[in-house]
Structures are given as structure tokens and as C-alpha cells.
Chains A and B, each alone.
Chain A
């Protein structure tokens, strides 16, 4: 018995060791609170999202935005349905604005240049003191006029604050600089109608659209709004004669890919094609009544431009021109647009004038083209103004330069000398929130809040008063520029201090709205009643009346001549176009935008030069060959991508890659910046920058660079018809309700309450990738980087498959591009379900093909058996570098290595919708619940809903005549119905 432990001893030991463990536990990590709100702020309910209406400021379009926050962090942005700009949709860049907010490369505080010329972190007090003393000195010495401001487009409160603030210091020099300006359009409008302004275009009213290079689905003017209008225009067209969009451009852009016809025109000949169209219209007497009084001088003006005489220049046969003119006139109201790469040369004003002439002749002015919109873009400084500032900087006439959210060092032609001129300015202050090429040369970096953290407002055009409110407190040590200006004003001297006596910038904005905006609204209600409504809807929106305009005789103001290009005669014209994802390069450090494949080339994480395969063959170049480009103004090296959507005489390169060396972890070292090749000279007519100004010569460098393309096979192969439904002719075949009779071994699944389903209209889908970015944001889909993408390990749950079946007449091409958004089809007879050995994937009672991440052992059998290949395996655990992790949706698991994942129709959003309905004691209504992809779609191509509700939109669409299921032959019976693209196979000729 002696060596046995007694019961008491045992208890003693157990008690002592137990408490030792407890003590040990106490001494280590402090208690962490999962939800640290003992007394929660009013608007934060743990687990419940709060939405703030604001305005997207990623580009000057200014779409309405709803910021979804959870526990005080923005986790998702969606279009604001109240705001007519965007109308609830958002583009890929808008969706990805979250990653500019949480970008790990953002400045975490102010920086100042030290004695050795390096940027070092400083405190805000130090930074402000430095700037205050400089401003005080300049004002005291009367050199306030030597202060200049160059920055992004501002309207409303901050426009007023910056204007008055600069004026108080004695400066009038404030330039609103945007990379893509519309100077030629404004100049043409001035010549034709006496109004130097950008017209408003109403695509939804048009029955026939001719675009001379205007990439309105990508970056031109206001892409979300125009994409929505375009989808309305397309939806109402007759199915029997569906062709109503012709794109005329040397390059087949994403916009052009959505056209029924593409004329690959010789660069510079756009103006002649437009004029010969006008010639044909007049010749045939296809003239609207409104144009008749002007007929005499117009006739005289265009006499030399008959289709026959222009054929050599344009490469378009007279019969095609006449047919184009006929369709354009008879579809009244039609619409002609001019812009983008076709308005980038020194004849841009002529082109825009010729396009306006077409609209006049067809009687579109006042119907699909209207004036008096007072677009914010009208206030942009012209390139000539920027050059003048550059010149003054070079001559040391500028003592202090403010850079406000613009990056002219990158976006201006390198030959303009802006970069060198910056060196001559004694004090350069940048408000950029992330490193860029211009800020790298600044002496003081005073990072601004992100727009989702800021007060503000933006009015893209008359009547659209978008209001910006902070959706969350700033995550980094940044300071709103407006706030900073007010603080500086307080300290410069008492005179200025009294002028800017506002406690904070938020107060300034609110008082601006109270005192300036409110009277303009002309509303009866008191301000206190309107104000909450403005905060709730994200602004105040009303329609503005268009102004009547009359055509002026501009025949003496313009001479139609050929576009001049500099460079070797045997060179190829260089077409520089804005990137769908990176705009002018500002979004290049955004990992989602790098990882989502470019909608046209499907390339990820890289820059490229587009070459026609024939040109490449002539030069002995292959895909991925690094090419050296020489222009009279510079040279650069970039990898070649063969693309047949090009005129044979051009090479094309997107703007946006080639960022750095500013230490941008996602953007640095990818491709190159084509603006290094461009001419610094402004267009003599409009003063705008020339994007199409040089010919380049190509030489092979001998190096190769891997082009990572996420879809290689886009060419027509036999089975493609099953994917894009080509074999289903909606006119001849009975489809819809009568899908193939099910032949099943097992009894069908029952869906007692809901059967979630989706309908995707391929006729509306433009392939813009907005849904893809929305999915990344909503579902915590990781970014894997270039190497992993090259290995084929991308993680996106939804992808846009692109299929091309072009057919060509001698001068006009039917691009035949189909965009097919492919996501999990939530099959009723899902091939992935029976093969999973552990039931990690199963059919849930609501028809979803659910995926239980923590049950998955990673056999990948389901992925192999999925015919749609939409399952994504986590080959590794992916990281979300700080502070990108703050964006993660708390409703969705972050998956780890070894787990299969996929789309489940945003099951967390379905759950949320059902919870709300249950709390309100009602059934779920159609439209209550929508997926992230459907929500974001600018073209409203994706409809989500419940099939068991016979009145739901999706139930109706599932029976649509155009409806088909992808790979129906496999009897998987998907929940996604695709509506076939409406295409005609009629040739483009006179009928």
C-alpha cells in the first residue's frame, strides 16, 4: 500500500497542478475580445452590415456607390441604385476600389525629404509646420502667384475650398488634370454648335449605333452608365434584324467585340469614312428635316469626300459606306460616337466634327445627342495648359506645386519634360495616398484619406449631386486634404484663418451643401428634412433639361486633311489605348485587377504589345517575344501578343502597366509605359494630347517573356456550340420549357421552399469583368499572383469565357465574340456530388450545390468530374497582406490549403435575405436576394432568384425562347439558364 498514491494526495497534486496550469494561462496572452463593443456605437450591430451611400472616385465618371460595412470596416462596395450614374451597377475598377482602400502599399503617414534627399516618415505636426512656414513665407513675400496646383477633377465643396484657399494665398493656378481628356470633342462642339462642352449621349434611345473608336464600355466618359444604356438599346432591338452596332476603329477593343460589325479602319482615315458616309446620305437624300437649312454649305464641304474617292484612304468600299449610311439614317434615331483611339490623333477635331455632322444629318441632335449637360469633365485643363505649367516650372516660375491625386510623370509623354520640370520646383507637395512616379519626386507627402474614408461630393453633370460620406474611420495615419487645407489656413496668418473658420472639413462640406447646394435644389422642404435623405441616397438626383442648339457653318474653320504621324515611314502606327482594368495606370497596383484576366487578351499580371499575326510573321515574331519599340521620342521593351483584332498597319499597347519604380508590390516591373514613346506636341486645333502621334519600328530583342493567359482556346472548335448555344436557333426550334426529358436513375431532388437559380443573358453580357471582381470581394477569393496563375492555379469562382468566331467580308468583319460568364451551375444532377467520399459537397434542400469547407479532405475528385471546371482547389494557403485582410467578408470562411472551393450563389447573402424576411415576418420576395455578380452587372445581364416562385423574374427567363443550359447533353440539369446571344448571319451589304 505504501507505494500507492492516496486519494487525498492525488487530489492535492491534481489541484496544485491544475491551478498551476490556470496561473500559467493567466500570465500569458491577455484576454482578447472577439467583438470589442461593450457599448456599441449606434450604427454598428455586430453581425449586421451597415451600408453608406457615397460616390466612387476611381475615375471621373463618379458612379454612385454603396459601401457595405461590418463592425466598422468596409467589406464590399456595390452600385448605388439611387444614383443615375451607374444605377446600381459598378465596373471592375469600382468593385476593386476596396483594394485601393486597403492597399498594403498605401502611405501610412506623412513623409518628408531629408537632407540626403530621401523620403522619411515624419509626424503630421512636423509636416504641417514645414508647409505652413513655406506658405507663410510665400504669402508674406507676395509670391503667392508662384503656387500652383495640379490635380484630379474636383467639383463642389472641395473645388470651392481649393479655389478659395489658393486665392487667399494669391494663386490662380489650379489645373484639373485627367489623363483622358475630351478636348477635341469640346472643340468640335464649339465649332459646330458654339458650345465648348461634352454632349450627353442617350444610347438607350438609339436604334442604330456607329462608334468611331469610342470605347464606351471600357473607359470612355462614363462606362457603367453607358454600358447600362447600351444594354437597354440592345434589349429593344428586333430579333429578326439584330444588327445595330457598328464599331469603326483600327483595334477591336472590348467595346468593338460587342459590336455586330467591325470596320478595321486605317488609322487616321476615320474622318474620311465619316465624311463619305455623310456624302452618301446627302447623295441619296437621306437627310433629316432639321439639317435641310444647312444643306448648301454641308454639300459644298463634303463634295470631295465621295465614298468612291475615299475608298483608297479608308479601305472601305463604296457599297459598304452606302449601306452603313442607309442603316444609320433609316434607324432613326441613330447615334454616332467619336472618341477613344480614333480621336487621339491630330485630326481628332475633324473626326469629331464629321461625327457630329452625321448626327445632324440623321436628325439625332436633341434626340440621342443633347447639350447643356454641364459635364464635370468640361472643367478639365487642356494638355496645352499642362504644358504651359511645365514650361513655367522649368523656368523656375513655380515655387510650390501641389500634386493632388494625379501622376503626370507617368501619364504625360516622357518627352514633355514634366519629370525634369518637377526637379526645378523648390517645394513639391503631394497628397497621394499611395506611392507613384510623381510623388516619388515630391518633397512632402501628405497622404489623403481614401474616398471611402472621406467627406466630399462629386457632381459629374448637372442634376447629379453625388454626396460622399466616410464609410469608416481612416485605417492609416492619413489626413483628408480638405481638412489639411483648413488646418494650414488656421496657422498661416489671421487673415486667412478668419476666412476658413470651420472646425473640420466635414463641417465645411455640410455647410457648403446647406448654403450653396440647398438653394439650388429649389425644394420646399426645410434643409433638416432633405439632409438625411441625401445621406441615405448618396446625394440629390434630378434630371436637367437639355439646351437647344443650332448648327453653325463651320466649313471655313476646318480643313479635312490626313492625320500626320511622326517616325519612320515604314513603321507601324502606334495605338495607345486606356486599359479596362488600370484606366491610366492608377489602378495597376490593385491585385484583383492584375489577377483578373484582361477581357480581350485574357492576359494576367503583365503588359503587352498587340501585333497582328501577319505583321508578326513578317517580322519573324512569336507570342511572348520581347520586342524593342523605337519611336522618335523614346524606346522601350515589351512582350508581343498576337492579336488578330487589329488593322494590319498598327500595333497597339494599353496604358497602365509599366508602373514603378515606386515600390508598388503588385504593379512594379510589369510591361512598360507606352507614353514614353509619344510626341509631346499638343494637337494644334484643340490643345489636347496626341495618343496617336507616332509610328514605331520593331526589333526583336531575342528575349522571351511568358505571357500568362488564363484562357488559351478561344478559337471556334466543334464543341463550342454547346457552350455558347450556337446550335440552338431560337427562331426555328422550340426550346425553353421543353428541355430534354430527364432520364435518371435516382429520384429527383425535392426543393420544398426554394430552388435558387440564375439566368444569364449572353446578349447583354459585354464581358467587362465587373462580376468577377465583385465575386473576389464578396467571397474572400484569394489572389495567387503571376507565378501561380502561370501554373494554372487561379482561384476565381467566376470567369468570363471568350469565344471568337469571326467572319469577314472584304472590308467589314463580324467579330463573332461571345462572352460566357462561367460559374458553378448548381446542377440538379451534379457530377461532383456522388464522387465526394465524405459528403463535403452535397445538394442542399434549396437546390444549391453546397460545399462544406471544413469537411473537405482534398481528394479533388469533384473538381475532375465537374464538366464546367468551376471548382477551385487551394493548392496552398494564400495570404492577405495587411491591411488587405481587413476587407475579408466575415460571413465567408477563409479557406486554407488542401480544400476545394467554389461558387454557392453567395449563400451568405441568401441566408441574410432569408433572415431579414423572417424577422419581418414575411416570405422572401423576388429581388430581395441577389448574388454579388448579379448586383454588380452594369448591363443587368445576370438575374438571380427562386425557381419555385412562378412569378419570379428568373422563373420567367428560365422558360425564355432563347434559354439553354450549357452542356445540356450531359444531363447535369444546371440551375443556370443562359439566354443565347442574338446574332444574325446576314452579310453586311445593300439589301
Chain B
């Protein structure tokens, strides 16, 4: 449709029409998916309430493995949240223009992932009804929080990231919301109009908009590095063998980006087919994501290697024991699954044909998702099960149905927001696509 190079307004109109078409009344598949997610969220919420009522006894956690699936999933979702900002902010600053058509989806994914991640520190608390004690607020009891605790750093890092990435996402949406307003009528028009903040597309507005976007991109970029570094310090700041390591920050950031990219592929590939956006999200975009995955996967593999090297080189028997436990202990199968998914599967993308095959791309991205969750599980659970206290060794953690339900509920929570997003907001940034088209000329 965009092939006609002669009439720019007509092409731009076509872009608007293609992308805003998605916002019209959806079919039954969409409603089925939406209600499945709603059910999932409801079930997860019920299980959480069940856990609040009975205590954490309904989970599989025990002494000494007092963190497990919940924290692993927290780290997983925080990781997912990373690629959005990477794609929209860092690649923006690097002028990697191919990012335009997938930036909206990945930004939305970032916001929803961070919302999902934010649930887990609450879910895992022993007394969630006192969660606000983690926030520094003036109170008559003169109680204060401990700024030395990495958990407090988490509160700030995650909070900042949520605010900045949500604002960044919203900022990018404003011109498109105005287009949506102009293309719709009635109540929708009023809502879109309200959200578009009276955008009329004047040159002055565009000038301010572009400056603001640049600033936000510059602001968000350090957050990509800082958030997951802080999350990694939850572990690195402790003295648990297997956690206490200086490489954790870059190691976790690389892992986060790997998992985030994988999640972008997982979401974008079905979405572009279902929403008929193949013209806008092309194999060029997908290939570039796959190439980035190779890079981050190699960094992650290097980190795995270094962890073992440090354990060996330190001659610390606890460190060595902890890593031997990963390789050969009761969770060894998960460890090897992690190696296959995170270190070997992305290497497939060295083959160009694999990068251009939808099924291969989707399959590999799903495996990386699994592998990255497993990585967090292995780091958390195996290290705790085999630390300095020899008398506490030999105990095995198994997740219960409550934990599994809450995890699935969180996935449903994430997908629910995503589904709402793709049907209610322009999933591809029209203004940026148009800009790219113009530049192509």
C-alpha cells in the first residue's frame, strides 16, 4: 500500500488507516483471549488472598530457601522491562531508525512488565498489609527505613523506572492519540481528545515534542543500566555463596536485555500477524532484534563462565560447593536447561535463515524466556539451599499450586494489559513511521 511513492498524503493516510483499523471493534478471538486473561488474573488474585489468609505456609518455601519462585519471577519481569527502554531510548539516541515500528510495543511491554514485577515484592511479603513500611514517609512513631538495605534501593529503582518509562511511553503516544482522535467520533473521540492533550500538530508543538522526547530518552537510558544493577545487588550485596559476586550488575543487565528482547519477539510475532501489521513490522525489525539477542546471549554466557571461574579461582570451599551443587545437585537439570536456552539457542541466529523464519524466531524467543526464568530460579534457590550452614544442606524446594497459580496469574495480568493496549492504543507509532517514510524518500 505504501508502495505508491507519488502521493505522500495518500500514503500517510494509508498508514493511519492501517494502524487505526486495529482499534475498531475486535473479533471473538480477542474477547476469548481477554476473558481468559481476566479469569487468570482472578484466579491468581484468589490464590494470593488465600496465601495472605493462611501465611506463606501455602508456598513451598522453607528454611533455608526463603526466597524462591516469587523473587525469581520478580527479577524475570524486571528483566523483561528492560528491552522496551533499550529499543525506544537507547536505539533512539543511537539513531537506529529501524526501531520505530516496534518501539511502541516494546515500551508498552516495559510498562506492563514493571507493573507485573512490582506485584511480586508485595506478594512475597510475610505481612503484605504493612507494605507501606517500606516507603519512607513521615510518621508519628518516628520510624524510618534502612537505606543500607538493597530492598529499599529496589523500591526507589523500580518506582523511578515505572514513572519514567510510563511518562516516556505516554509522551510518544501523544501525536498518535491525536490521530486516533481525528479518526474517531463520539465518546471515543472525547477520550482520545482528552488524552491527546489538545495536540494539533503545529510546528511549535512538534519542536517541543521532539526536545522532550530526546530528554526523556536521555533520562531513561541510565535507568536501563541502573534498575537491573540495583536488582542484582539484592543478591550481590549478601554473603550467600553464589550471590556474592561483583559481576552481578552487568551480568544481570545483559540477562535482562536478552530476556526483554525475547519477550518482544514473543509478543510482536503473533501480534503483527493477527493485526495485519506485516507491512510495518517487517523481518528487518525482527532480524535486528535477533542480532541483539546474539550479543546479549554471548555476554550472559561469558558471565556464566566467569561465575564458575571465580568460584574455582577463589579456592573458597563454599563457593565451589555452591557451584558444584548447581551443576550436579537436585536442580542440575534446571541448570542445564538454562545453559541450553540462554547460551546455545540464541546462537542459532548466527544463521540468517533462522533469523528470517517466524517459527524459529518465536520458538527461540520462547525458549529464551524459559531459560531466563530458570536462570533466576537457579541463582536464587540453589544458592540458598547450599550456603555456609552445612547442617541445612540437603533440603529441596518445590513450588506449590499456590505459587504456580500466582505466577500464571501474573502472566495473565501482563497479557491482559497488553491485550487492552493493542486494541485501544495505536500499537505502531504512526508519526515515527511516517517520519521514517519521509526520510526514505
Other-chain contact of B149, A713, A836, A970 (Cβ < 8 Å) = A836
| A835-B237 in contact (CB<8A) | yes
Query: Hey, which chain A residues are within 8 Å of B388, CB to CB?
Result: 719, 867-869, 967, 970
Enumerate A486-516 residues with CB–CB distance to B below 8 Å: none
| B64-A863 in contact (CB<8A) | yes
Other-chain contact of B395, A792, A802, A838, A858 (Cβ < 8 Å) = A792
Query: Hey, which chain B residues are within 8 Å of A869, CB to CB?
Result: 63-64, 387-389, 391-392
Residue A899 interfacial (CB < 8 Å): yes
Residue A717 interfacial (CB < 8 Å): yes
| A899-B127 in contact (CB<8A) | yes
| B62-A834 in contact (CB<8A) | no
| A864-B237 in contact (CB<8A) | no
Residue A898 interfacial (CB < 8 Å): yes
Instruction: Give the distance to chain B from A726, nearest Cβ to Cβ, in Å.
Output: 12
Query: Hey, which chain B residues are within 8 Å of A861, CB to CB?
Result: 67, 149, 151, 234, 238
| B61-A875 in contact (CB<8A) | yes
Separation of A873 and B152 alpha carbons in the complex (Å) = 21
Separation of A792 and B397 alpha carbons in the complex (Å) = 9
B391-419 interface code vs A (CB 8 A; 1 in, 0 out): 11111000000000000000000000000
Q: Whose C-beta in chain A lies nearest to the C-beta of B155? A: A837
| A711-B391 in contact (CB<8A) | yes
Instruction: Give the distance to chain B from A601, nearest Cβ to Cβ, in Å.
Output: 14
- Range of interface residues on A (Cβ < 8 Å): 35 or more
| B393-A712 in contact (CB<8A) | yes
Q: Whose C-beta in chain A lies nearest to the C-beta of B316? A: A969
Interface centre among B54, B148, B388 (most CB of A within 10 A): B388
User: Known contacts being A712-B394, A868-B389, is A831 close to B146, with CB within 8 Å?
Assistant: no
Enumerate B152-176 residues with CB–CB distance to A below 8 Å: 152, 155
Residue B300 interfacial (CB < 8 Å): no
Enumerate A387-403 residues with CB–CB distance to B below 8 Å: none
Query: Hey, which chain A residues are within 8 Å of B155, CB to CB?
Result: 837
| B66-A860 in contact (CB<8A) | yes
User: Known contacts being A822-B391, A864-B384, A867-B389, is A837 close to B149, with CB within 8 Å?
Assistant: yes
Which of A254-262, A304-312, A793-801 sits within the interface?
A793-801
Instruction: Give the distance to chain B from A782, nearest Cβ to Cβ, in Å.
Output: 12
Other-chain contact of A899, B57, B126, B150, B390 (Cβ < 8 Å) = B126
| A898-B126 in contact (CB<8A) | yes
User: Known contacts being A791-B62, A864-B384, is A857 close to B239, with CB within 8 Å?
Assistant: no
| B134-A856 in contact (CB<8A) | no
Query: Hey, which chain B residues are within 8 Å of A897, CB to CB?
Result: 54-57, 126-127
Q: Whose C-beta in chain B lies nearest to the C-beta of A793? A: B62
Query: Hey, which chain B residues are within 8 Å of A877, CB to CB?
Result: 55
Separation of A284 and B152 alpha carbons in the complex (Å) = 76
Query: Hey, which chain B residues are within 8 Å of A527, CB to CB?
Result: none
Residue A991 interfacial (CB < 8 Å): no
| A719-B62 in contact (CB<8A) | no
Separation of A970 and B133 alpha carbons in the complex (Å) = 30
Enumerate A738-793 residues with CB–CB distance to B below 8 Å: 788, 791-793
Residue B206 interfacial (CB < 8 Å): no
Instruction: Give the distance to chain B from A416, nearest Cβ to Cβ, in Å.
Output: 42
Separation of A898 and B125 alpha carbons in the complex (Å) = 7
| A788-B57 in contact (CB<8A) | yes
Other-chain contact of A860, B126, B145, B152, B395 (Cβ < 8 Å) = B126
Other-chain contact of A835, B57, B59, B143, B238 (Cβ < 8 Å) = B238
Enumerate B220-263 residues with CB–CB distance to A below 8 Å: 234, 237-240
| A864-B240 in contact (CB<8A) | yes
Instruction: Give the distance to chain A from B352, nearest Cβ to Cβ, in Å.
Output: 45
Instruction: Give the distance to chain A from B223, nearest Cβ to Cβ, in Å.
Output: 21
| B394-A713 in contact (CB<8A) | yes
| B61-A858 in contact (CB<8A) | no
- Range of interface residues on B (Cβ < 8 Å): 35 or more
| B146-A839 in contact (CB<8A) | yes
Separation of A804 and B388 alpha carbons in the complex (Å) = 18
| B63-A876 in contact (CB<8A) | no
| B126-A876 in contact (CB<8A) | no
Residue B50 interfacial (CB < 8 Å): no
Residue A723 interfacial (CB < 8 Å): yes
Residue B137 interfacial (CB < 8 Å): no
Separation of A871 and B426 alpha carbons in the complex (Å) = 51
Instruction: Give the distance to chain B from A902, nearest Cβ to Cβ, in Å.
Output: 11
| A857-B125 in contact (CB<8A) | yes
| B391-A834 in contact (CB<8A) | no
| B61-A834 in contact (CB<8A) | no
Query: Hey, which chain A residues are within 8 Å of B144, CB to CB?
Result: 839
Separation of A239 and B56 alpha carbons in the complex (Å) = 50
| B149-A864 in contact (CB<8A) | no
Separation of A11 and B317 alpha carbons in the complex (Å) = 76
| A858-B127 in contact (CB<8A) | yes
Interface centre among B63, B145, B155 (most CB of A within 10 A): B63
Query: Hey, which chain A residues are within 8 Å of B240, CB to CB?
Result: 864-865
Separation of A713 and B384 alpha carbons in the complex (Å) = 15
Residue B130 interfacial (CB < 8 Å): yes
Query: Hey, which chain A residues are within 8 Å of B59, CB to CB?
Result: 875
Residue A874 interfacial (CB < 8 Å): yes
Residue B131 interfacial (CB < 8 Å): yes
| A855-B238 in contact (CB<8A) | no
Residue B12 interfacial (CB < 8 Å): no
User: Known contacts being A793-B63, A970-B239, is A719 close to B126, with CB within 8 Å?
Assistant: no
Query: Hey, which chain B residues are within 8 Å of A867, CB to CB?
Result: 239, 387-389
User: Known contacts being A838-B145, A898-B125, is A857 close to B131, with CB within 8 Å?
Assistant: yes
| B151-A874 in contact (CB<8A) | no
| A855-B150 in contact (CB<8A) | no
Instruction: Give the distance to chain B from A903, nearest Cβ to Cβ, in Å.
Output: 14
| A873-B391 in contact (CB<8A) | no
| B63-A792 in contact (CB<8A) | yes
Query: Hey, which chain B residues are within 8 Å of A985, CB to CB?
Result: none
| B54-A876 in contact (CB<8A) | yes
Instruction: Give the distance to chain A from B174, nearest Cβ to Cβ, in Å.
Output: 37
Residue A872 interfacial (CB < 8 Å): yes
Q: Whose C-beta in chain B lies nearest to the C-beta of A898? A: B126
Residue B331 interfacial (CB < 8 Å): no
Instruction: Give the distance to chain A from B48, nearest Cβ to Cβ, in Å.
Output: 14
Q: Whose C-beta in chain B lies nearest to the C-beta of A716? A: B390
Instruction: Give the distance to chain B from A335, nearest Cβ to Cβ, in Å.
Output: 34
Q: Whose C-beta in chain A lies nearest to the C-beta of B147? A: A837
Residue B321 interfacial (CB < 8 Å): yes
Query: Hey, which chain A residues are within 8 Å of B146, CB to CB?
Result: 834, 836-839
Separation of A831 and B318 alpha carbons in the complex (Å) = 17
Separation of A659 and B389 alpha carbons in the complex (Å) = 35
Separation of A865 and B387 alpha carbons in the complex (Å) = 9
Residue A703 interfacial (CB < 8 Å): no
| A900-B126 in contact (CB<8A) | yes
Q: Whose C-beta in chain B lies nearest to the C-beta of A834? A: B148
Instruction: Give the distance to chain B from A178, nearest Cβ to Cβ, in Å.
Output: 36
Query: Hey, which chain B residues are within 8 Å of A714, CB to CB?
Result: 391
Q: Whose C-beta in chain A lies nearest to the C-beta of B121? A: A859
| A799-B57 in contact (CB<8A) | no
Instruction: Give the distance to chain A from B182, nearest Cβ to Cβ, in Å.
Output: 46
Q: Whose C-beta in chain B lies nearest to the C-beta of A784? A: B57
Other-chain contact of B57, A801, A859, A875 (Cβ < 8 Å) = A875
| B127-A898 in contact (CB<8A) | yes
Instruction: Give the distance to chain B from A852, nearest Cβ to Cβ, in Å.
Output: 10
Separation of A898 and B54 alpha carbons in the complex (Å) = 10
Given contacts A835-B238, A837-B152, could you give 6 more A-B pairs where the C-beta distance is less than 8 Å? Answer: A712-B393, A834-B146, A856-B127, A864-B240, A875-B57, A876-B56
Subset of 19 A-B contacts with CB under 8 Å: A712-B394, A791-B62, A793-B62, A801-B391, A822-B389, A835-B237, A836-B146, A838-B133, A838-B143, A839-B144, A858-B56, A859-B151, A864-B238, A867-B239, A869-B63, A869-B389, A874-B55, A876-B57, A897-B126
Top 10 A-B residue pairs of the complex, sorted by shortest distance between their CB atoms: A858-B126, A898-B126, A792-B62, A897-B55, A712-B394, A869-B389, A876-B57, A898-B127, A860-B66, A867-B388
Interface of A toward B, CB cutoff 8 Å: 711-714, 717-720, 723, 788, 791-794, 799, 801-803, 820, 822, 831, 834-839, 855-861, 863-865, 867-869, 872-877, 897-900, 967, 970
